[in-house]
Amino acid sequence: MSRMLVTGAAGFIGANFVRYWRKHHPTDHIVVVDVLTYAGNPHNLDGLLDDRCLLEQVDINDTDRVMELLREHKLNTIVHFAAESHVDRSIEGPDVFIEANVLGTHSLLKAARQVWQVEGQAMDDHRFHHVSTDEVYGTLEPEEPAFTEQTPYAPNSPYSASKASSDFLVRAYHHTYRMNVTTSNCSNNYGPFHFPEKLIPLVIINILHGKALPVYGDGRNIRDWLYVEDHARGIELVLRKGKVGETYNIGGVNEWTNIDIVNLLCSMLDKRFADDPELRAAYPDCPAAGAQPCDSLIEYVTDRAGHDFRYAIDTTYIKQELGYEPAVTFEVGIEKTVDWYLSHRVWWQSVLDGSYRSD
């Protein structure tokens, strides 16, 4: 695993994974591949790039270029994060999700098989790790048990259907071509570098600007939240100790309704503003700057089409097989996340106004 291709690593989870890997495996060679769409930000990798960690702006659907990189750098491991991931965007325009998530994954598999197996560069000593989502399993009712690795697939959005399709392609390349693959299905991640269209960063930033906090339906939809560094550590365990051909669910064992997440962030920022006059001066449009509660910004909006009610992951298998369990409690993780956004205004402001793309 010392020579690794990481796709989509200028995005949220991929960049955090590269940061984790460089910290714990500083001598390994990493080639970061990212097409740098709207959610791919090279500044997410600031301080990481050097002669052992290279960034290549490449579309994973460019099979020939991926093969060139595998050959040139003698790479024997692929960790595949690259994906279109926002459900709302998949509802509005599903084509790009099929192109990136299904065709892109197949392009990577073809490139890897050609170089590693057909050409013999890493006949036995290779690994293709595919990063997927709990959304492929569909939706749960409140009383139903959490998703396990044996839960039948039942994707309900174009996004989750595209990820399910890519999961099946990875499975097929193992069973048909004996490629050394593993797959992980994770729950909702949160933490640093999270693109501001997703719930937690959207709520934090909208509160700071005094903008509405849109909540779908009645806000009672439930998600399992996983701190992104715990996700990176889980993938590390799968790469080091996971059984080839297996799927591992990586979850936070941490279910929250959407409205409870919004209310929690409101109360946290109410307290931060009450205790910090510099914060009140920096964000005068925030209700808390004028001693008004942040939850006054909550607005209930029309529910998302086909909105899954609940996701939850049973982590029994990965705990028993690999010794994994989340290390960061939600209480600690959400405080760290709020701290990060408050101290990285330049980063998220450049994302909101698009100026990072012209750097």
**Cα gap 14→271, rounded to integer Å:** 32
Q: Which of 59, 135, 230, 314 is catalytic?
A: 135
State how far the Cα of 168 lies from the Cα of 196, in Å rounded to an integer.
30
Q: 120 is written with which tokens?
A: 């013999």
- b/e for 72-93, b at 16 or more Cβ within 10 A? ebebbbbbbbbbbbebebbbee
Q: What is the DSSP pairing of strand 222-227 with strand 255-257?
A: antiparallel
135 assigned to active site: yes
Cβ contact 345:38 at 8 Å: no
- Where helices occur in 210-257 by DSSP H, the ranges are 228-241
Are the C-beta atoms of residues 61 and 104 closer than 8 Å to each other?
Answer: yes
- Known catalytic residue: 159? yes
Cβ-proximal residues to 92 (8 Å cutoff; 6+ apart), any chain:
none
**Alpha-carbon span 341 to 347, nearest angstrom:** 9
* CB contact at 8 A, 208 and 52: no
Angle at alpha carbon of residue 170, lines to 18 and 321, rounded to 5°: 70
* Whether the Cβ atoms of residue 13 and residue 187 lie closer than 8 Å to each other: no
- CA 76, CA 124: separation in Å to the nearest integer? 10
State the catalytic residue, choosing from 20, 159, 311, 324: 159
Residues paired with 248 in a beta bridge: 184
Residue 159 amino acid letter = Y
From the candidates 34, 59, 84, 134, give the one annotated as an active-site residue: 134
Residues annotated catalytic, as ranges: 134-135, 159
